[in-house]
A and B are shown apart, each in its own frame.
Chain A
Amino acid sequence: MKQRESFFHLLKPDHLYAASMFFAVITLLLVSQVYIYLYIKKRRFRIISQINHQINEWIGMIISEKEFPVIDLTKELKLYLKKEKNREFLIDNLIKIRKNLTGSAAQSIVELYKNLQLKDDSIARFKSYAWHKKAKGIYELYMMDQEAELPDIYLYTNSKNEYIRMEAQTAIIGFWGFEGLTFLESLEEPLHEWQQLKLLEQLSTLDIVPLQNLSLWLRSGNEYVKHFALKLTDIYRQLDMHDLVADCLQSANVKIRAQAIKSLGRIADDSTAEILISHYPTETNDNKKKILQQLATIGNNNITSFLEEVLKEDDDFLKLEATRALVAVNNDVKILNKFQADKTMASIARQIQYEQA
Chain B
Amino acid sequence: MTKILLIEDDSLILKTLELKIRKEGFEIFCSADGKEGLEKLHLELPDVVITDVMLPFASGLEIVSASKKIKEKDIKVIVCSSMGQEHIVEEAFNLGADDYITKPFSLNELIIRIKKQIKGR
Residues of A within 8 A of B (CB): 53, 56-57, 59-61, 63-64, 93, 96-106
Contact = CB atoms under 8 A, between A and B. Distances in A.
Contacts of A56: 11-12, 15
A101 B16 contact: yes
A290 to B, nearest CB: 26
B107 A103 contact: yes
B104 A106 contact: yes
Contacts of B18: 60
Contact of B106 (A57, A59, A97, A102): A102
26 contacts: A56-B11, A60-B16, A60-B19, A61-B19, A63-B20, A63-B107, A64-B19, A96-B10, A96-B13, A99-B103, A100-B10, A100-B103, A100-B104, A100-B105, A101-B16, A101-B104, A101-B105, A102-B104, A102-B105, A102-B106, A103-B109, A104-B106, A104-B107, A104-B108, A105-B107, A106-B106
Interface in B1-24: 10-13, 15-20, 23
**Interface of B, helix, strand, loop or mixed by DSSP:** helix
Contacts of A100: 10, 13, 103-105
A97 B16 contact: yes
Given A60-B18, A64-B23, A103 B108 contact: yes
Nearest to A93: B12
Contacts of A53: 11
Interface of B: 10-13, 15-20, 23, 103-109
Q: Is the interface of A mostly helix, strand, loop or mixed?
A: helix
A97 B12 contact: yes
Contacts of A104: 106-108
Given A63-B16, A63-B20, A102-B106, 8 more contacts: A59-B12, A59-B16, A61-B19, A64-B17, A64-B107, A96-B10, A104-B106, A105-B16
Nearest to A61: B19
**Top 3 closest pairs, chain A to chain B, by CB:** A103-B106, A60-B15, A64-B20
A60 B104 contact: no
B108 to A, nearest CB: 6
A96 B23 CA distance: 23
Most buried by A among B11, B12, B105: B12
Contacts of A99: 103-104
A279 B20 CA distance: 62
A64 B105 contact: no
B114 to A, nearest CB: 14
B45 to A, nearest CB: 26
Contacts of A59: 12, 15-16
A342 B11 CA distance: 67
A250 to B, nearest CB: 37
B63 to A, nearest CB: 19
A60 B12 CA distance: 7
B16 A64 contact: yes
A61 B106 CA distance: 15
Contacts of B109: 103
A105 B109 CA distance: 11
B28 to A, nearest CB: 12
Nearest to B80: A100
